[in-house]
Amino acid sequence: MTDPRPFVHESVLLDRVLELFAPVPSGTIVDATLGGAGHAAALLEARSDLRILGLDQDPFALAAAQARLAEFGDRATAVHARFDQLATVVAAAGAASQPIVGVLFDLGVSSPQFDRPERGFSYRNDAPLDMRMDTTRPRTAADLVNGLDERELASLLRRYSDERFATRIARSIVHARPVTTTAQLSALVVESIPAPARRKGGHPAKRTFQALRIALNEELDVIPPALDAAIDVVVPGGRVLAITFHSGEDRLVKERFRRAEDGGCTCPPGLPCVCGAVAEARLLKRGGWAPTAEETARNPRAASARLRAVEKLPARPVEDQR
């Protein structure tokens, strides 16, 4: 799929990503959210002994990434896939002959997806109510808005954006159906929220659009299995990095990385482990990394980013697991 407009997305925490992958052995890094290939290209430029296996579910992003990575020849491969298919893609690529030494997740929606009105991600422009990251999938945000009942809509808004006025918004949507455009939905949300609440916290429709986007693209549902698969496929000494942009994503990454660190230990804190849990990885920093003030000034969308990382541990001998 081609598009005459460039897919321009500034890679967040790029220097930190390069620093964290610098110690990994030679092999392949899986860029599970390839986007415009900013991180991927920088890694290939920094290390001539690395290859990139990139995944992206957005056909427009994939085409842009393939064009950007063309100069690296067979050192870069781009696949149309969502990152919860990571294990399958790695197996098909033949990881046995090229060890997986790292996996990178840059979660959330990209700038080009937001900035192109026809994608329907933004409440700032009038466009069809789409919001699909993978435009080959049939279901759109309009299907959710017009297909869920009032209770289901309200639950969705509360679950994915903590919307205080979820019930009022859901009721307005149901009464106004069919709702087919971003402008129509945005107006309904604004009208549903009391005037005092509309004066603070940014645009009143921000949370509703976020919730619909997350639900439609199953953004949070696919994170835990994808992280587990990433930790599973990397070799000892390999690293898994995840960049998040809101608390829901960060909470899931923190939980999965913590589980990899303690092996899912169920023993009381402060006591020796007797439950047989086996650690798979070590945290590279508790709390993770945030962008520098300089990066945030240059790219305001980076302000909410958080990077967490783990390193795969060597497998313990069988006798040590008894």
Q: Decide if pLDDT at 315 tops 70.
A: yes
Q: What is the pLDDT of residue 96?
A: 52
With CA atoms as reference, report the closest residue to 51 among 12, 101, 109: 101
Whether 205 and 229 share a structural domain: no
Mean pLDDT score of the chain: 92
Count how many domains the chain has. 2
Say if residue 1's pLDDT is above 80. Answer: no
pTM value?
A: 0.91
Q: Are residues 18 and 89 in the same domain?
A: yes
Most confident region among 134-138, 295-299, 318-322 by mean pLDDT: 134-138
With cut-offs at 50, 70 and 90, classify the pLDDT of residue 4: very low
pLDDT score at 72? 98
- Residue 186 sits in a domain whose CATH number is 1.10.150.170
- Tokens, residue 78: 């781009």
**Same domain for 245 and 207:** no
User: Which of 86-90, 95-99, 260-264, 303-307 bottoms out in mean pLDDT, i.e. has the lowest?
Assistant: 95-99
Confidence of residue 185 (pLDDT cuts 50, 70, 90): very high
Confidence band (pLDDT; 50, 70, 90) for 322? very low
Please give the share of the chain, as a percent, with pLDDT higher than 90: 81
Q: Using an 8 Å Cβ cutoff, are 125 and 113 in contact? A: no
End-of-domain residue from the set 176, 200, 216: 216
pLDDT computed for residue 9 by the predictor: 59
Question: What domain range is 202 assigned to?
Answer: 136-216
Q: Indicate whether 90 and 26 sit together in one domain.
A: yes
- For residue 86, give both structure tokens: 């990571």
Domain boundary, last residue among 184, 216, 248: 216
Mean of the pLDDT values across residues 22-37?
96
In a shared domain, residues 166 and 23: no
225 plus 315 within the same structural domain: yes
Instruction: Mark whether 188 and 246 lie in a shared domain.
Output: no
Residue 136, classed as helix, strand or coil, is coil
- Quick check: is 65 in a domain? yes
Whether 165 maps to a domain, the answer reads yes
pLDDT at 264 over 90: no
- Domain with residue 261: its CATH number is 3.40.50.150
Coil vs helix vs strand at 186: helix
Answer whether residue 167 shows pLDDT above 50.
Answer: yes
Q: Are residues 199 and 156 in the same domain?
A: yes
Tell me which of 199, 216, 233 is where a domain ends: 216
Which of these ranges, 61-70, 98-107, 237-246, 268-277, has the smallest mean pLDDT? 268-277
The answer on 100 and 241 residing in a single domain is yes
Residue 64, phi-psi category: left (phi > 0), alpha (psi -120 to 50), beta (remainder): alpha
87 located within any domain: yes
Rounded to 5°, angle at Cα 305 from 182 and 34: 75
